[in-house]
């Protein structure tokens, strides 16, 4: 999953839960601008794992780590 796909997933889930950006940012304890950057695919480069986990937790999502395939 790339940054744009992650941002689109966060946006879609937020809208499905009927939350606006300000509400989700408050619940995740991050700034609205940080959430906006994440949703637009720009914030993942500067976002900490803790920030991403906070947002995903509020949305009822999680990250699964899997071993990468080697060529």
**Is the pLDDT assigned to residue 54 strictly greater than 90?**
yes
Q: What is the pLDDT of residue 15?
A: 98
pLDDT at 19 over 90: yes
Name the residue range of residue 54's domain: 3-58
CATH value at residue 40: 1.10.260.40
* Inside any domain, residue 29: yes
37 falls within a domain: yes
Judge whether 34 lies within some domain.
yes
Question: Could you give the number of structural domains in the chain?
Answer: 1
- Cβ partners under 8 Å of residue 31, min gap 6: 25
Residue 41: inside a domain: yes
For residue 43, pLDDT beyond 70 = no
Residue 31 lies in a domain: yes
Query: Is there a domain that residue 68 lies in?
Result: no
User: How far is it, in rounded angstroms, from Cα 40 to Cα 37?
Assistant: 5
The pair of structure tokens assigned to 43 is 């914030």
């Amino acid at each position: 999953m790339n940054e744009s796909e992650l941002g689109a997933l966060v946006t879609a889930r937020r809208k499905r839960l009927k939350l606006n950006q300000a509400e989700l940012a408050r619940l995740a304890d991050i700034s609205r601008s940080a959430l906006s950057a994440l949703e637009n695919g720009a914030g993942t480069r500067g976002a900490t794992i803790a920030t991403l986990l906070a947002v995903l937790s509020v949305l009822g999502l999680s990250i699964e780590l899997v071993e990468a395939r080697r060529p």
